[in-house]
Structure 1
């Protein structure tokens, strides 16, 4: 069993990205992103109004208190601006596995390289803290997200058919990808560093 401290303030950063634990004081600064509907088109929780985004973020904070999730707020250090959020979830300490997701960035941060820096920091943190597997899941129609996961070195494992109800009531197929600690240590860390 991994001894992961959900109460610790884990701060991850490099020259571009800063990730720190999401707290209630960050919510007001993130509400601006409720007005960017493209961010929320594949979300499984509503965040496209200020009220819904506040609920979404408070649920993430509650998930940390319940030791089920560990949400981060993302700051772009180049502009010192709030950029989005990401989190570890479905954390299985006894299996040394976790999922990485609920990741979104304001539209102005798309294509800036910020996501690769964040993923590097999050992978390195997870694998240095005893986790052996990091899993991702996305709507198969979310081409941007799937491409981003592949570009950082994740392996496609398969498709879960009709596995999640979308906010519009339709059912989605979910693509599952993962990265293993041994892959990160042997080749993928260096490959991702070379892209930064």
Structure 2
């Protein structure tokens, strides 16, 4: 499995690999909704942005992560960020995460459009499993993952410490290569 840092695009969104030339625009786009950042493991809000950016760039160079800037094509604006995490080529497994959307882009087609592109790229690259990890307290994320057709598999108790110091339980969802044709058809119909 080899995930390349290429632009991914469909009718709704354009996903561009995170690049230094986009840093200022990404900072401005993510500097919203501080309460939404509180439930996430890391924060890119305010003064946290530099550490978030540095960690993202370091992870890219190590081959562990491939973050994307999400551009809503209708609005011609940065809607947020998402990407591949925990890339494990040997096991043909990858996590999709690091997702944050500006409030005005939540609940519409941006998330399913992004997930369709990312899962499609992962399975085309040879993945046999795509995972999603979310905070057990994040009802919005859990509902969105279920609507995508991902299967809730487990709760990892006291799994991660968030940037606020809270110890979170993590809920694991997944789509396997066997699930993908059905999930793909569901997403294509939803986005159609």
Normalising by the smaller structure, the TM-score range is: over 0.9
Stretches of 4+ aligned residues off by more than 2 angstroms: 166-170
Question: Is 1:194 matched with 2:189?
Answer: yes
User: Could you tell me which residue of structure 2 aligns to residue 165 of structure 1?
Assistant: 161
Counterpart for residue 143 of structure 1: 139
**Pairwise CA distance, 1:195:** 1.1
1:46-97 deviation digits (Å, cap 9, x = unpaired) = 3221x31232123212211111111111100101111111121111101000
Structure 2 residue 42 is the aligned partner of structure 1 residue 45: yes
Q: Does 1:82 align with 2:78?
A: yes
**In the aligned structure 2, how far is the partner of 1:170 from the partner of 1:67?**
28
Which consecutive unaligned segments of at least 5 residues does structure 1 have? none
Structure 2 residues without counterparts, runs of 5 or longer? none
Question: Could you tell me how far apart the structure 1 residues matched to 2:97 and 2:129 are?
Answer: 14
Count of residue correspondences:
190
Query: Which is worse superposed, 85-94 or 56-65?
Result: 56-65
1:139–1:172: 8 Å Cα contact kept in structure 2?
A: yes
Range with greater deviation from structure 2 (166-175 or 73-82): 166-175
1:126 corresponding residue in structure 2: 122
Counterpart of 1:95 in structure 2 is 91
CA distance in 2, matches of 1:183, 1:64: 28
Report the TM-score when normalising by structure 1: 0.92
